[in-house]
Amino acid sequence: MAIFETLKKYKWMLPILTKADRRIKAILLKNAMNKKKNFHPDGDYKADVKNLINCMLCPNMCRFDCGTLQAAGTEVMSPAYKARIGYYLTVGKIDPTKPENKEFVDLMYKCTSEENCKVWCPFEFSVVSLLETVRDDLNAKGLMPDYLKPRIENLNNTNTIEDHNIFLTYMENRIENVETDGNDEVFYYIGCEMMKFPEVVKANIEILKKTGVKFSTNLDNRVCCGGPAYNIRDLETTKKFASRNNELIKNTGAKLVVSDCPGCVLTLTRRYESIGVKIKTKVIHIVEYFANLIKEGKITPNNKLDYSKLTIHDPCLIARNLNDTTSIRAILKSIPGLEISEPVLNKESVHCCGWSGTAHWADKELSTKEAANRVNELKETGAFNFVTACPLCELGLKYGINEEDKEKIRVLDVSELLVKSL
C-alpha cells in the first residue's frame, strides 16, 4: 500500500496518538516498525502465514456453519481459532514438540474438510487448505500424530487404507472383476471405501453392463488413489500412488474414468495436479456419467420403485468441490415412483456427514456427533431413506444414526435405486 494511502487509512488514529503519553507512543512506534518481523518471523516454513493471520484476525464470520464447531460446541473448534493455533504452532509461540501442546497439534487435524467456511468467507478461504500448510511443517519436523501413522503404514503395506488389501475382498463378496485388455472405453475406478459396500459396487457393474459400454475394474491390480495420504499431507506417499494410478489408467486405454467415490475423483484430478501429476484421461464421478446416459436415452429407468420417504444427502465433495448438485437429482427424478424431499441445508449448503478429511481419525467422537447432527437434519424432512453417492457419507451417516432409528433408517447409494429401476 502506498504511503499516502496508508496515512489516509489511519488518519483517524492521529488525534488519539497525539493525546497518548510518551511511553505508549514509543511502544506503538516500536511495534509498527517491527510489524513484519514480529508477525512474519524468518523461518523455513511452508505454512501460509499471511492468510493464517488474515483468518485468525477475522471475527469468525463463518463460525456458525462449521460442522466441527457445532459438534464440539466449543469455540476452540472454530475456523479462526484453528487458524490462530496454526499460526502460533508455525511461528513457535506454541512449541509443537512439547507433549503438553499435543492438543494444539491435534486441533490441526480436527477438520472435516467440508469447506463450509469457504462458502461464507469474504476472502474465500478454505480453512482446511490453510491447515494443510501447517500440517506440511509438522510432518517435516517429524510431528505427524501417532494415530495417523498406521494409515500411512497400511498404504505402504497393503496399497489401501485398510490393514488388508480391500480390493481383493471382491471374491468373497461375489463382485465381478473385469481385467482390462488395454482397449476399454471406461475404467470403473472403485474407491477403497466403496469396497465396504459391495452391493453398491455390484449395482454399478450391473448398470455399466446394461449400457453396453466396454469397461474394466482391474481389482487384482488396484491401489488406493492416495487421497488419505494427501489429507494427512504425506505428499511423498501421495506421489507414489499418483504415479501407479497414472500407469494403471494408461494401461486400460480408457477414454473415461468413472469413480464411485468423490474423494478419488478429486485426488485423481486436482490433488494430483497440485503435486505435479497430470492424468490425461478425463475423470468424473459415476453419478455424472449415469445422469448423462439417462439424458442421452442410453439407459431408461422404467420400473416403478416404492420408496415414498426419501431424502438426498449431497456429499460435500460432489456439491462443493466437484460443483455438481444436479446429477444425483436428475437420476432420482428419472426413476418412477420416488417421493423425494429436500433437507433445508442441501446442495452447496450441505452439512458434512462427519467422515470427510482427517477429523474421524483425530477424534472419532467428534465426527460421530457431527454425523448425528446431519442425521437429525435429514430426519427433519420426515424421510427414513437417505440417498447419497459417496462411501464416506454412507459410513458417516450410519455412525450418526442412534440405536432406536437403526432399524428404521436406511442409507442408500443412488446406484442401488437406479439399478432396480432399469
Choice between 166 and 397, CB closer to ligand SF4:
397
Three cell numbers written together for 264: 478419488
Q: How far is the CB of 196 from ligand SF4 (least distance, A)?
A: 24
Q: How far is the CB of 40 from ligand SF4 (least distance, A)?
A: 18
List 413's β-bridge partners, or say none. 388
Length of the chain: 422
Helix (H) or strand (E) holding 411: strand 410-413
Degrees, nearest 5: CA angle 314-161-112: 40
Three cell numbers written together for 163: 490393514
Choice between 54 and 341, CB closer to ligand SF4:
54
Question: Which residues would be at the binding site for ligand SF4 (CB under 6 A)?
Answer: 55, 58, 60-62, 66-68, 79-80, 82-83, 111-117, 120-121, 123, 125, 127-128
Residues 314, 325 contacting (CB under 8 angstroms): yes
Q: How far is the CB of 12 from ligand SF4 (least distance, A)?
A: 24
Three cell numbers written together for 354: 462427519
Choice between 128 and 138, CB closer to ligand SF4:
128
**CA–CA separation, 35 and 351 (whole Å):** 39
Residues 6+ apart with CB under 8 A from 391: 191, 193, 194, 196, 197, 200, 260, 261
Choice between 256 and 345, CB closer to ligand SF4:
345
Q: How far is the CB of 83 from ligand SF4 (least distance, A)?
A: 6
Q: How far is the CB of 392 from ligand SF4 (least distance, A)?
A: 14
Give the three-class secondary structure for 241.
Answer: helix
Choice between 113 and 218, CB closer to ligand SF4:
113
Choice between 114 and 288, CB closer to ligand SF4:
114
Choice between 60 and 246, CB closer to ligand SF4:
60
Q: How far is the CB of 340 from ligand SF4 (least distance, A)?
A: 27
Choice between 49 and 117, CB closer to ligand SF4:
117
DSSP state of 93: S
Residues 368, 406 contacting (CB under 8 angstroms): no
Q: How far is the CB of 77 from ligand SF4 (least distance, A)?
A: 7
**CA–CA separation, 61 and 394 (whole Å):** 30
Three cell numbers written together for 195: 469396497
* CA proximity to 131, closest of 39, 46, 235: 46
Number of H helices, E strands in the chain: 23, 8
Q: How far is the CB of 405 from ligand SF4 (least distance, A)?
A: 25
